[in-house]
């Protein structure tokens, strides 16, 4: 069975920018969706037991290792069962939310989801979209250019290691409507948000077409 895996890492409620733009993507997607809301149901951070479980014989697991391995098995199977991916990952303090880092650390596993001795990663080439809102602006020429450490990190972990066909939709100046010192940038935020909704919807339609073509 093929589905879209939606990992939602924003801590805010349904009116968050990332969640609203994600709904535009889903307007263009017509298939099944498996949704993990990391705010509503956080994934535990990787522990010593989670690491040792990857190295030890399952027949000799401690109870903590068995529990950690069961969680990793669930997440890896869910990841590998998806034909496409939607990640809503806002920029927090110049990087990813800790909830998303926890999911990533539990899912990126040597020999299971990346660095396969027999060939490319099992999810290589599958389409993935990251929707990321940020309070200010981090593009070329902006005062904070180069301080966005989210996108480079995801390119390394999800594009290079997992092999995903990764695309990004970003919304800038997300704090302009609510922070007085940034109010002068509200017009730029509105423009960025409108573009993000249009881009997300188009990506959703493209994902649907891509899946349909793969099934024929």
Higher pLDDT, 198 or 211: 198
For the beta carbon of residue 65, count every other beta carbon within 10 angstroms: 21
Question: Is residue 170 a contact partner of residue 18, using CB atoms and an 8 Å limit?
Answer: no
Question: Is residue 207 a contact partner of residue 84, using CB atoms and an 8 Å limit?
Answer: yes
Residue 11's closest CA among 39, 44, 42?
39
Judged on CB neighbours under 10 Å (0-12, 13-18, 19+), 29 is: buried
User: Is residue 211 very low, low, confident or very high in pLDDT (cuts 50, 70, 90)?
Assistant: confident
Sketch out the chain's domains with CATH numbers.
Answer: 4-215 (3.40.50.360)
Strand order of the sheet with strand 4-8? Answer: 33-37, 4-8, 84-88, 127-133, 165-171
Mean pLDDT of the region 66-88: 98
Percentage with pLDDT > 70 across the chain:
99
Question: Is residue 176 a contact partner of residue 183, using CB atoms and an 8 Å limit?
Answer: yes
Over the stretch 7-63, which tens digit does the pLDDT of each residue have? 999 998 878 999 999 999 999 999 999 999 999 999 999 999 999 999 999 999 999
User: Is residue 150 very low, low, confident or very high in pLDDT (cuts 50, 70, 90)?
Assistant: very high
In eight-state DSSP terms, residue 156 is: I
Query: Is the pLDDT score of 191 beyond 90?
Result: yes
């Amino acid at each position: 069975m093929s589905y879209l895996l939606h990992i939602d890492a924003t801590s805010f409620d349904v009116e968050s920018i990332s969640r609203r733009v994600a709904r535009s993507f889903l307007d263009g997607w017509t298939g099944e969706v498996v949704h993990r809301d990391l705010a509503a149901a956080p994934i535990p951070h990787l522990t010593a037991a989670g690491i040792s479980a990857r190295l030890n014989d399952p027949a000799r697991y401690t109870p903590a290792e068995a529990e950690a391995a069961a969680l990793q098995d669930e997440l890896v199977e869910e990841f590998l069962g998806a034909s496409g991916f939607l990640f809503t990952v806002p920029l927090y303090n110049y990087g990813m939310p800790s909830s998303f880092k926890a999911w990533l650390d539990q899912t990126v596993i040597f020999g299971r989801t990346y660095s396969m001795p027999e060939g490319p990663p099992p999810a290589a080439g599958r389409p993935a979209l990251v929707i990321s809102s940020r309070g200010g602006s981090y593009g070329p020429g902006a005062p904070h250019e180069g301080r966005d450490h989210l996108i480079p990190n995801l390119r390394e972990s999800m594009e290079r290691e997992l092999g995903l066909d990764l695309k990004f939709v970003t919304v800038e100046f997300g704090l302009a409507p609510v922070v007085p010192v940034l109010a002068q940038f509200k017009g730029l935020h509105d423009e960025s948000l409108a573009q993000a909704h249009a881009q997300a919807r188009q990506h959703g339609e493209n994902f649907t077409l891509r899946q349909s073509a793969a099934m024929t």
